[in-house]
Every structure is written in structure tokens, then in C-alpha cells.
Amino acid sequence: MTALEDFNITKAEQSKLNEISLENIPFGKYFTDHMLEADYENGEWKTPRILPYQPLQLDPSLAALHYGQAIFEGIKAYKDAAGNPQIFRPYDNFRRFNISAERMQMPTVPEEIFMDGLRLLIDMERNWIPAHENHSLYIRPFMFSTDEAIGVRPSHKYKFLIILSPTGPYYATPMRIYVEEKYTRAVEGGYGFAKAAGNYGGSLLASAEANKKGYDQVLWMDAFEHKYVQECGTMNVFFIIGKTAITPGLESGTILDGVTRDSTIVLLKEMGYQVEERDLSIDEIMNAYKAGSLNEIFGTGTAATISLIKELKYKDYVMKFDVQKWNIAPEVKRRMDAIKYGLEQDTYGWLYKI
Ligand code: COI
């Protein structure tokens, strides 16, 4: 464990907390008083700093701005029933962050900086954790290359930061989803499994076109046939057909190994459902819908938690659902929330208490 003195800490003179209400907060708009920053140079990480949240000064030739060596994570902290901070499965995000780093030819971040830094920062910012239902403190660790040179090669220098944003629900209402056949998010051999900034930048055109057609997001399909499901917008996706929950598998490396995805699988199994991680085609989905056995569809993600999908459009065919009648996804969400907010026992050891 890193000692407090291993971090260089500068406290903000004044808190901004009295300027905002921690209720009904839009996602990602407000940031807490402090941030963590660490630089990688000459093959090693320098002393990490916790300092007042502030703009960065960057050279216009900064490598990340040109070639996109940039990765991030999304984690959430909650208040338990007694008001103490707890973070949901942060070690899983820490591990995934370093998997993303390796794929993007970036240095891994040591546990003493990522996890101990996170613990220190959350401890300092504990008053920023909202206590309301569907609210949390969103944690955004990220890293980017900082060489000041525009040659295409892995950078020698990097910056790692953690910023914190108190937040309300990401998708407030059930979603209408458009099955995407023109654009592709990820292909085998690519970096769909990495939480790399480019995966998100490259997705924006498809969501903008879906928005114009009146849809909230797209259902990403495989790159070769546009036939097999990958993800939904920025989320993993589950289909309940009969009594079986089906979600795309991780083997092809085209989807994110979601922490909420994994937690959902665990809870579904605990609730007695069979879970299959496998290829799922749009034909199988349509056939199940026509046969009346497609019961529920929902997305999972840290930001979005569990988001119900009330409509799915494939070519000219529209599948509609009465989400009021659903009970599986709402029960998964209820159980997961009960653990996160400390209302039910954390039998899986998912919580990291501060
Ligand atoms: C998350 O669920 O944390 C995400 O990364 C989604 C989005 C906010 C980028």
C-alpha cells in the first residue's frame, strides 16, 4: 500500500461543492475539487500528485491528439447505508485499464498509483458522493501519450489522470434502438475489447444518424455480415429468450469485457436463469420475437447501469415491447443497486470500502 507521503498532495483553497446540488445531476458535467495526475517519463512513473481540479497545458504537437493513444475507464463510488464511501469492483477496471494500455502500446499503470491514488482521492472527495437513488460519483481514470512530436510511433511519455464527476442516471427512460448495418464498431484483430478513445469517436456518426431517424442508439453488429450482435451503443447487451439470457461472448475480442456485464451474469445465474455467452444473430432474435419468446432486451454498462430497450428496428421490421411487464432486468438492477448502496449483503466481495 502506498503511504500518503508517496503522493504529492495540494489541497484546493475552497470547495466548489456548495455551488451545485447533488440531486438530478446530468452525466459528466460537474467535477470535484481535486484530481490525480501522474507522468511517465524515461521508462518510469514519477511521483503522483493530487491537486486542485484544473486545466492541462498541452503542446499542440502532443502525440495523443494526432494518433489517438488514449484510453480510459469508468467506475462508480457510492455511499453505503451509514454514509461511508464504497467503490464497485474497481480492481476489475484497474485490470482492464492495463489490458487496454497493452493493446495501445502504452505503459501499464502500477496498482500503487491507480488503486492507492483512487482510494486517497475518493477519501478526500467523500462529500461529493451523492446519496440519492440512481446517483453516484463517476470515476474517470484515463491516460494519453504526451510526446511532443508528430512521428507515428508509440510515445515515450504519458500522462495518467483520475477525475471525478457526481452524476445522475445516464439514460433516464427505456431506449429505442436501431440495428446498424452500415457502420461497424469493431472487427476481430482490432481493439473493440479495449476502452480506447477511438472506439467512441468512431461510433458517433452511427449514433447521430440513428438519432436523426428517431432512435436513441445503435445495436452494433459484426463487421463481416452485419448479422451477429456485438454491443448496444456504449453498453454490453442481453437478450432474454424464453428462460435463457444470451449475451455475446468475449472470444472474438470485439466487445468490452464489461464489469456490469459480468455482475449481471452472476446475478442472473443466482436468480435461476441460464446464461449463454455466445454468438446471437439478428435472425434468431427476430424468430424469437415472432414466436413470442423474446421477453426482454437490455444494455449494461457502468455509466448506464441496466438500461431497458423498448424498441428494436431491423431494416423495416420493428420489434416493440411493453417494458412495464418486465421483471428480470428490473430485478437484476434492484439487486445490483441494493449491493452498491449497501442495502443488501455484498456476498461476492464486489465493494471496495474506503
Ligand atoms: C461507461 O459505462 O463507463 C462508459 O464508458 C460509457 C460512456 C460514458 C463512455
pLDDT of residue 3: 52
Residue 5: Cβ-neighbour burial (10 angstroms; 0-12, 13-18, 19+): exposed
Sorted by sequence, the CB contacts under 8 Å of residue 16 that are 6+ apart come out as 32, 33
CA of 243 to the centre of ligand 1 (A): 29
Helix (H) or strand (E) holding 245: strand 244-247
Per CATH, the number for 4-169 is 3.30.470.10
Q: Is the CB of 301 under 6 A from ligand 1?
A: yes
| DSSP letters spanning 21-38 | -SSSPPTT----SEEEEE
Residue 5 confidence (pLDDT) = 60
For residue 75, the CA-to-ligand 1 centroid distance in Å is 9
Q: Which fold has domain 175-338?
A: D-amino Acid Aminotransferase; Chain A, domain 2 (3.20.10)
In the chain, list all ranges with CATH 3.30.470.10: 4-169
Q: Which atom of ligand 1 is nearest to the CA of 75?
A: 3
CA distance 36 to 57: 15
Question: Which atom of ligand 1 is least distant from the CA of 260?
Answer: 2
C-alpha–C-alpha distance, residues 313 and 320, integer Å: 9
Surface-to-core class of residue 332, CB atoms within 10 Å of its CB (0-12 exposed, 13-18 middle, 19+ buried): buried
**CA 120: distance to chain centroid?**
22
Give me the count of residues in the chain: 354
Question: What string of H, E and C letters represents the secondary structure of 201-224?
Answer: HCCHHHHHHHHHCCCCEEEEECCC
Domain with CATH 3.20.10.10 in the chain: 175-338
Alpha-carbon gap, residue 233 to 297, rounded angstroms: 14
- Does 74 sit in the ligand 1 pocket, CB within 6 Å? yes
User: Cell numbers of 338, please?
Assistant: 441494493
Tell me the mean pLDDT per 10 residues along the chain, length 354: 72 95 91 98 97 98 98 97 95 98 98 97 97 93 97 97 94 93 98 98 98 98 98 98 98 98 98 98 98 98 95 98 97 97 95 96
Say if ligand 1 is within 6 A of residue 302 CB: yes
pTM of the model: 0.96
What residue's CA is closest to ligand 1, atom 9?
234
Q: Quote the CA–CA distance of 261 and 163 in Å, as a whole number.
A: 24
**Predicted pLDDT of residue 132:** 87
- Ligand 1 centroid from CA 13, angstroms: 31
Q: Which residue has its alpha carbon closest to ligand 1 atom 8?
A: 303
- For the CA of 28, the nearest atom of ligand 1: 8
- For residue 258, the ligand 1 atom closest to its alpha carbon is 2
Amino acid identity for residue 37 in this structure: E
